[in-house]
């Protein structure tokens, strides 16, 4: 089976490696050509010079890119794949994309006789290398069966989320939950630190516990020792998750928790716009929202949060305890038509605070070394995401921050978004214009 793989990033490269073997005939393309060439040297794969060349003979095309913006660029850009894909082929987009764009792409390809499946993945680089990724796909089941052998080459847990776009939606909610759980862990350690507990001691105790409750899944963090394997010596493991992951493989009990956003509706940023997440999945049978499960378990362990499972009560407690939120209630925060503003009182700096600061500065060692390292141009700080890709300047930063020849003309007038120079525009304004402001 002829396969084209586009996007050899941290996840894409190990995914493609599982397809560089029989019975697959693999062609790869990557924006950074040197990375594709290195892949070709190390694997049984051909390297294409352009996206169009990569897909021309392929029956299955896989894209694994930073966001839907890059997918559309590969489709419609110079030497794009839209006109090159053969009729009857299937595009499997493993990008963590956004549902509206995926549906639009599916409709456009459908008019050309090409099928589309959105299939974002989860599990990190470790699962990608092991071929055990979780794949959340949206699309026609009949079409998916045609590409199942390809997906199974790098995926272990394969979940049909629904129609086109639902895989992207599920991945977005999963990422949101992961962020919430990371924040919760940080807040927990901060509370312990304020109570006088050394965070390192707290982590040692948590790691030594025989039973553990986990909200969400553990993501592997290379070089830290943090991975789902930490659970293998635990006697009793409870996990709250939306679906099975590597973490749930160690669980004795799994609570299928729906998220707060799915039950109640809340705010999110989606392609640069603040909007309401629509109520999606009702808790059914014994399934409860994750915050309710946590509260119920806490009560069973003798810890009462005191909010009676009510989000409104939580916000009321915050408003009653924090002067800046006085008088504000949860419905006010949810009402997008009447934005509320909190007002924090700014107090003066006490002499005691300055004294403490002076002592801390004075106690700093004199033999410290200055860090002179210069961050690489195109560092992950400038990577293109759903948010940053909407700002043209980020595209230039992500493509090496090219230096314009003419400093009197805006860089965006002299470069295309991929960093390549535009023709003749640099000469439109010259040094002589300094003496003739405004062209007078």
Mean pLDDT along residues 231-238: 76
pLDDT band at 269 (very low <50, low <70, confident <90, very high): very low
- Residue 2's pLDDT is 94
- Residue 393's pLDDT is 77
Share of the chain above pLDDT 90, in %: 31
Give, in order, the Cα–Cα distances in Å from 14 to each of 20, 45, 205, 377: 10, 13, 35, 25
Give whichever of 139-148, 193-202, 274-283, 338-347 has the largest mean pLDDT: 139-148
* pLDDT greater than 80 at residue 407: no
How far is it, in rounded angstroms, from Cα 160 to Cα 135?
8
* pLDDT greater than 80 at residue 429: no
Q: How open is the CA angle 22-23-29, to the nearest 5 degrees?
A: 75
- Residue 229's pLDDT is 81
Mean pLDDT along residues 113-123: 93
- Residue 114's pLDDT is 95
The runs of H, that is alpha helices, within 195-217 are 199-208
* pLDDT greater than 80 at residue 23: yes
* pLDDT greater than 90 at residue 182: no
pLDDT band at 262 (very low <50, low <70, confident <90, very high): very low
- Read off the pLDDT of residues 278-288 as tens digits, 9 standing for 90 and up: 343 344 555 56
Q: Is 294 left (phi over 0), alpha (psi -120 to 50) or beta?
A: alpha
DSSP 219-238: PPBTTTTBSGGGGTT-SEEE
Question: In sequence order, what are the residues at sequence separation of 6 or more whose Cβ sits closer than 8 angstroms to the Cβ of residue 336?
Answer: 267, 274, 276
- Residue 17's pLDDT is 95
Q: How open is the CA angle 271-132-270, to the nearest 5 degrees?
A: 5
- Residue 417's pLDDT is 84
- Read off the pLDDT of residues 86-103 as tens digits, 9 standing for 90 and up: 999 999 999 988 888 999
Q: Which domains does the chain have, with CATH numbers?
A: 2-163 (3.40.50.720), 197-334 (3.40.50.740), 391-439 (no CATH)
pLDDT band at 275 (very low <50, low <70, confident <90, very high): very low
DSSP 13-69: HHHHHTTSSTT-EEEEE-SSHHHHHHHHHHSSEEE-SSHHHHHTT-SEEEE--SSHH
- Read off the pLDDT of residues 347-376 as tens digits, 9 standing for 90 and up: 665 667 778 888 888 888 878 777 787 766
Task: List residues with catalytic annotation.
Answer: 171
More confident: 36 or 299: 36
Identify whether the C-beta of residue 259 lies closer than 8 Å to the C-beta of residue 173.
Answer: yes
- Read off the pLDDT of residues 277-327 as tens digits, 9 standing for 90 and up: 334 334 455 556 555 666 666 666 666 655 555 666 767 777 777 777 777
**Which of 5-9, 158-162, 268-272 shows the lowest mean pLDDT across its residues?**
268-272
- Residue 59's pLDDT is 95
- Residue 359's pLDDT is 85
- Residue 29's pLDDT is 96
How far is it, in rounded angstroms, from Cα 76 to Cα 91?
14
- Residue 302's pLDDT is 65
- Residue 155's pLDDT is 94
Q: Residue 354: which H helix or E strand, with range?
A: helix 351-362
Mean pLDDT along residues 114-135: 91
Task: For strands 267-270 and 2-6, give the pairing.
Answer: unpaired
* pLDDT greater than 60 at residue 273: no
* pLDDT greater than 60 at residue 440: no
* pLDDT greater than 70 at residue 242: no
- Residue 249's pLDDT is 81
- Residue 341's pLDDT is 65
Work out whether the CA dihedral 273, 279, 281, 286 comes out positive or negative: positive
Mean pLDDT along residues 247-251: 81
- Residue 362's pLDDT is 84
Mean pLDDT along residues 38-58: 95
More confident: 176 or 367: 367
CA dihedral 133, 139, 145, 146 (to 10 degrees): -100
Q: What average pLDDT is seen over the chain?
A: 76
How far is it, in rounded angstroms, from Cα 429 to Cα 409?
7
* pLDDT greater than 90 at residue 127: no
């Amino acid at each position: 089976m002829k396969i084209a793989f586009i996007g050899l990033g941290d996840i894409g490269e190990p995914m493609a490696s599982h397809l560089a073997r029989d019975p697959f005939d693999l062609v790869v393309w990557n924006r950074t050509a040197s990375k594709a060439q290195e892949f070709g040297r190390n694997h049984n794969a051909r390297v294409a010079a352009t996206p169009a060349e990569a897909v021309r003979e392929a029956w299955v095309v896989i894209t694994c890119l930073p966001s839907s913006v890059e997918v559309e660029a590969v489709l419609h850009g110079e030497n794009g794949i839209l006109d090159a894909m053969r009729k009857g082929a299937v595009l499997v987009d493993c990008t963590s994309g956004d549902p509206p764009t995926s549906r639009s792409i599916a409709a456009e390809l459908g008019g050309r006789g090409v099928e589309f499946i959105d299939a974002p993945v989860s599990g990190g680089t470790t699962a990608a290398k092991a071929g055990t990724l979780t794949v959340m796909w949206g699309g026609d089941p009949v079409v998916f069966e045609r590409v199942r052998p390809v997906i199974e080459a790098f995926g272990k847990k394969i979940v049909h989320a629904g129609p086109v776009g639902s895989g992207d939606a599920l991945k977005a909610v999963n990422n949101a939950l992961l962020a919430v759980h990371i924040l919760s862990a940080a807040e927990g350690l901060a509370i312990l630190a304020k109570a006088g507990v050394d965070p390192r001691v707290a982590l040692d105790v948590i790691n030594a516990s025989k039973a553990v409750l986990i909200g969400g899944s553990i993501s592997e963090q290379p070089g830290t020792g943090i991975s789902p394997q930490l659970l293998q010596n635990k006697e009793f493991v409870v996990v709250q998750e939306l679906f099975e992951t590597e973490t749930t493989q160690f669980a004795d009990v799994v609570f299928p928790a729906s998220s707060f956003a799915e039950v109640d509706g809340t705010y999110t940023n989606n392609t640069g716009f603040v909007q309401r997440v629509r109520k999606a999945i009702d808790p059914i049978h014994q399934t409860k929202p994750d915050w309710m499960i946590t509260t119920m378990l806490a009560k069973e362990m003798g810890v009462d949060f005191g909010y009676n499972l009510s989000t409104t009560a939580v916000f009321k407690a915050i408003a009653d305890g924090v002067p800046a939120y006085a008088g504000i209630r949860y419905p006010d925060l949810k009402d997008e038509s009447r934005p509320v503003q909190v007002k924090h009182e700014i107090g003066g700096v006490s002499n005691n605070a300055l004294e403490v600061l002076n002592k801390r500065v004075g106690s700093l060692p004199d033999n410290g070394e200055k860090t002179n390292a210069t961050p690489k141009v195109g560092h992950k700080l400038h990577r293109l995401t759903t948010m940053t890709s909407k700002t043209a300047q980020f595209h230039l930063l992500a493509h090496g921050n090219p230096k314009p020849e003419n400093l009197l003309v805006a860089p965006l007038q002299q470069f295309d978004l991929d960093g390549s120079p535009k023709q003749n525009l640099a000469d439109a304004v010259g040094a002589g214009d300094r003496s003739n402001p405004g062209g007078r």
